[in-house]
Chains A and B, each alone.
Chain A
């Protein structure tokens, strides 16, 4: 009953707000009229009677207000009042308002961007139905092994596999490079996808090698290349000169099962030989066959059970094919990021942490600004308290002010981050690689920004609470606003130190990253990327295969060397070092080894099949022995070049290795004819790996890349290379770029990390400046009178500055020192992302100290000028 009445009363307040306000007004006025009527009867004039009635009534507005509250809080109305009042006060101090909103916009924007990326790359699964139960084996695998995995596991509903293929797609005399997935026939069925047009291929379409010449287009490719033409289904196109029929279009928004990838089409893997130029379907030992294996776990099967199940299949494979299959470790993971998942997740988590720190610093900053403002307004607050306002009401108003600011800042930050994220999703870091960044600002990003805004508003809004709760109206009104200045350590001081420390951490880590990146650009990779072009001639795409490949490749190398200005040309398979972060490792055995199972391998070097001239073209130094010649072909004894690391591993030293033998995985004996310098192969940050180089004429035919070293202008060289290739075969497609540009891919993680840290460091620096500035300006303005007296008494400029800014500078020093130490500790983590990032670097240490000193100088400049230009006469006269 009571509850009902209460509810009715509250509901009435909400829905008839102004009506109740009018009601109260009318009721109170009627009271005064009644009283005036009575007073009039005792002989007063009407005007006098009303005046007396009003006086007797007491504080009209106050009772009206209290009546309001008695009627049920009246949340909305109070809020409206608070908002109006806050807007008015904020408008009165535009500098403060601007600084607060800008700070928050930066901090919340940074968080929204980082969260947006994290949301896209880590939190959001690939775009398929029921992604929770989709698990992948993120391993390179051979096709025969995949088939065994598919047929022998008992944990998956179905197991699909795919690999990347790069080819040319010709709709009739217009070949253009295209990238696609060669997938197992069950790929779409395992992923439970439906085509948006036509049909998909299925397991039933596979009848052995090259039996299923069908392709399915991605929606985007269908849109851009075929202009949404529904008539494409049934059309025949040429992939690497082989006819394929377009049978369908994949659903919109499906970009395959690798997050960064942006394939153009899907084709059955049984036809891969036509596109790859080599048969991988029967090569059990060749781990290039399958990029990733994935499927939905059966209902009730846990990932742990699946791991055990896969382990037994792995054991079976190792036992049955001891020569080809080594120990395999199958651990299912959620698909999307492949092997980069771990580092990417760690890096993003670190970035999120930094962004959080920035926001915290911003809150600390604003908190101290707010505290200072509340102190400045202590007179106003005291007056309000004295006039009968409750402390709760005042706090509520201050909090409203804080939340208003944070919402404004949050909105601005969010807008900025939306723009930035949109840009990022359009960004193509490598024009030659089919990549996209699947970031799009969406609901979670908006929510996070909103929540962060509210939380940070409350966070810095509560800083002045204690101040208000303690305020004694009599004291403040009596003493005037200049009051006493605490010499004690205040919350504001602690906040400022924390914030400066955070900033110093950011500055330190960004400097470490920048230095690391700089070093990695100038370090030695075991080859010289300057003046070298990488030419990818896709011979399989032009219809060459098998034994035609090496013949054509030899002709191309010789044609390249005929170009004027070209010093040397050579080719390498498996991508040249540090190109596309791709390299193939293979087992090798000591010469005396009899049991050639992978477990007995002496080493697992990266393998490159190269032509004579490759070493010189790449700029790799031959330490001892000889380079290959064109006579090292299939009729000659098998030979090899090894790097110093492999020589050391096998025979203890470089010199001792020349002339010795070892065995390849298939048991072939090869003789080491030379040792070359060590280098980087897969990534900049890798530990020293071993590598071997074999003559390509003694290896199975394979697609390859050319390295052309020339002392001419790169542009002219490219034109000359194209002309030569055209002369050899007008249909040869070629991607040409400088080796340095390809290194961009290898440097990409470090570059992104450095950029991100740099931005964060910059933001941290800006926040520190505003923080120190706020503190210094406040302390100067609070002590103007004292400073004026000091000047009048003959204080020197240094003494004056000491008095005005000493405290701010002390806090700066303290915070910077703490931040430097913390930053140096934190940057150990960086070493795994940015090559050569080390905190033990005098430039970094000096740089941080210099940067912080500069920050301090910048931030205290204006307050210092103000302190120095004081005119004591004006000041002392004023109060």
Chain B
């Protein structure tokens, strides 16, 4: 798996928020959605998802409710709360700023210095 990137610490929460922001999902769905939107470039150990999900619920950023999955299994569905949406926007902006800054820093060439 050479094309898999290791997740930076702290980025899992943001990815979960992003995934859920596109519509309510159960845990496995979140995993699939992240794989889908990142073109399977990001590697997440499956179990690690759950402590992160519960942490977000506890922080009041997500809310969970039991429902039935497309496979007809009982599953817990997560969606963003108002606070979660706000946090998602902030973190996205922060990440973009950081990414832009990093990108421009790394793109610098010798003659530009």
Contacts and interface: CB of A to CB of B under 8 A. Distances in A.
Interface stretch (B16-24, B50-58, B93-101, B104-112): B50-58
Interface residues of A, number: 31
Interface of A: 1-2, 4-6, 9, 23-24, 26-28, 30-31, 33-35, 37, 56-60, 62-64, 66-67, 69-72
Contacts of A1: 60, 83
A71 B73 contact: no
Contacts of B81: 5
Instruction: Count chain A CB atoms within 10 A of each CB in B26, B31, B51, B81 and give the residue with the most.
Output: B51
B71 interface: yes
- Which A-B residue pairs are the 4 nearest by beta carbons? A5-B60, A63-B47, A58-B47, A34-B28
B27 A31 contact: yes
Contact of A37 (B47, B53, B71): B71
B28 A30 contact: yes
Contacts of B50: 24, 27-28, 31, 63-64, 66-67, 70
A58 B46 contact: yes
Contacts of B89: none
B26 A30 contact: yes
12 contacts: A2-B83, A5-B60, A6-B59, A9-B57, A26-B74, A30-B75, A31-B28, A34-B28, A57-B47, A58-B48, A66-B50, A71-B58
Chain B contact-residue range equals: 20 to 34
Contacts of A27: 27, 50, 75-76
A45 B34 CA distance: 27
A60 B47 contact: yes
Interface string B54-82: 11011110000000010101111000010
Given A28-B50, A34-B69, 9 more contacts: A1-B83, A2-B59, A5-B59, A5-B60, A30-B69, A31-B49, A63-B48, A70-B51, A71-B57
A30 B74 contact: yes
B36 to A, nearest CB: 13
A13 to B, nearest CB: 10
Contacts of A63: 47-48, 50-51
Contacts of B52: 70
Main secondary structure of the interface of A (DSSP, over half): helix
A421 to B, nearest CB: 49
A58 B45 CA distance: 7
A23 B27 CA distance: 13
Nearest to B50: A67
Given A27-B27, A30-B26, A72-B58, A66 B75 contact: no
Contacts of B55: 70
A30 B73 CA distance: 7
Contacts of B26: 30, 34
Nearest to A69: B51
A31 B55 CA distance: 18
Contacts of A71: 54, 57-58
A59 B51 CA distance: 12
B69 A28 contact: no
Given A2-B83, A5-B60, A62 B47 contact: yes
Nearest to B60: A5
Contacts of B69: 30, 34
Contacts of A5: 58-60, 81
Contacts of A6: 58-60
Nearest to B71: A37
Contacts of A35: 28, 46
Contacts of A57: 46-47
Contacts of B57: 9, 71
Instruction: Count chain A CB atoms within 10 A of each CB in B46, B47, B55 and give the residue with the most.
Output: B47
Contacts of A59: 47
B88 to A, nearest CB: 15
Contacts of A37: 71
